Every structure is written in structure tokens, then in C-alpha cells.
Chains A and B, each alone.
Chain A
Amino acid sequence: DAMVIQNPRYQVTQFGKPVTLSCSQTLNHNVMYWYQQKSSQAPKLLFHYYDKDFNNEADTPDNFQSRRPNTSFCFLDIRSPGLGDAAMYLCATSRDYRVSDEQYFGPGTRLTVT
């Protein structure tokens, strides 16, 4: 009954080698979010989609891109991972833009950069 699924759960990539993380949802929610969480830090929003409308955070590096080909799937692409990009990446969804809409999180993908 998993509602927000992230694959893979663990990803190891080499410095500079492009990597893609995926997220899928069975909730049919309009909004999908990507967060980066480094050790002992708060989850930090990278960007989000409302349907197909992409919303980038001002301080998200250009190295991070995202795609949402349909309602159910969203991808995070890191074009040239650096050692500083090692982190847990969390995908979340919400039904809409309402303050009462809670965010549903996936289990996360832990990215290691060697």
C-alpha cells in the first residue's frame, strides 16, 4: 500500500557521473516535491511541480534538474554529482496548494558519491 515510492533506496555514483533518482505516487496528487537532506540538517526543498508547472528554489544549483512526465512520476537528475551532493533525497506529494494539505513522503534515496 506504499503511496510514495522512491527508487533506488541506495544509489552510489562516481564524482561527475550523471545520476537519476525516481519517485512515483499512487495518490494522484497534484504537487510533487524534491528535498535534499544532509546529515543532521533539515530537509531542504530543491524544487516542486504543480501538475506540469515547475517551480525551482532560488538557491537550488543548476546541477540539479527535474522531470515530471506524468502525474505519477517525477525524476531528479544530478548532471555532475560532486562530493557535496551526497545526501538523502526525499520525494513528497500533496493533494493541492492548501495549507491543510499534508505532505506525504517517500522513504528516501540515500546517494553516495565516490
Chain B
Amino acid sequence: AQRVTQPEKLLSVFKGAPVELKCNYSYSGSPELFWYVQYSRQRLQLLLRHISRESIKGFTADLNKGETSFHLKKPFAQEEDSAMYYCALTSTSGTYKYIFGTGTRLKVLA
């Protein structure tokens, strides 16, 4: 079955501490992976995508095909990083429909 798993519903860290939001996937084929973020009272928006190999707002994510993971990391958390984070995958052909995880709420404490 095609699935995205985010095992943590809530992750609380102190400001300046490292952050790792976990994402594991199950997909028969070669997927493309994304992280979307939803800040308080804002709409869901793209944070980063594996295909771009980019770092956004200090966040990075590495696709590990052996472990079928795409964890989101940041070395030093900031209070403005507090938000809901969703991992998503799509196929690399066809209609590119997203499968989302259930999300992790990140709280960065002062």
C-alpha cells in the first residue's frame, strides 16, 4: 500500500536545539518527496522538495531510499519554525497526485 507515515503528532524542542521531523514512506515505484508547512492561520504551502535539493529557512531533507525515509532537519530551531509540517509523496510519472502524512506539530519553546 502507498503510505506516508509521520510517527510524531507533536514535537517540542527548545529554541536553538536541533530538530528532526520524521517521515517514512511506502511506495511501489520511484516517488518524489515533499515537505509542506502550515503556519498558524496560514494556508498549507510548500517548504521544500527532494527534486530541488534545496535548503529553505535552514531546513534540509535527505531522501534515503534504503530506509524509505525523508526526514526534515534543522540544526538550530527558531520560534518562528513552530507550525504543522506535512510530508507528502507523488509519483514521478502520470498525474502526480499527492499522498500526505498525518502531520507533525512542531513547537519551539523559548
> Contact residues of A with B, CB < 8 Å?
4, 40-45, 48, 50, 55, 90, 92, 94, 97-108
Contact = CB atoms under 8 A, between A and B. Distances in A.
Contacts of A103: 46, 98
B21 interface: no
Contacts of B99: 42
SS of A interface (majority): loop
Given A90-B44, A107-B43, A108-B43, A41 B51 contact: no
Contacts of B53: none
A97 B91 CA distance: 11
A107 B41 CA distance: 8
B102 A105 contact: no
Given A40-B102, A42-B4, A48-B97, 7 more contacts: A4-B43, A42-B103, A50-B95, A55-B95, A92-B44, A99-B32, A99-B51
A102 B88 CA distance: 11
B21 to A, nearest CB: 15
A90 B84 CA distance: 15
> Sorted from nearest, which 7 A-B pairs have the closest CB atoms?
A42-B100, A105-B44, A102-B46, A99-B32, A42-B102, A43-B100, A105-B43
15 contacts: A41-B102, A42-B99, A42-B101, A42-B102, A42-B103, A43-B86, A45-B98, A48-B97, A55-B95, A94-B96, A98-B96, A103-B46, A106-B43, A107-B43, A108-B43
A41 B45 CA distance: 17
A99 B100 contact: no
B94 interface: yes
A100 B101 CA distance: 19
Max count, chain A CB within 10 A of own CB: residue among B51, B90, B96 = B96
Contacts of A94: 96
Nearest to A103: B98
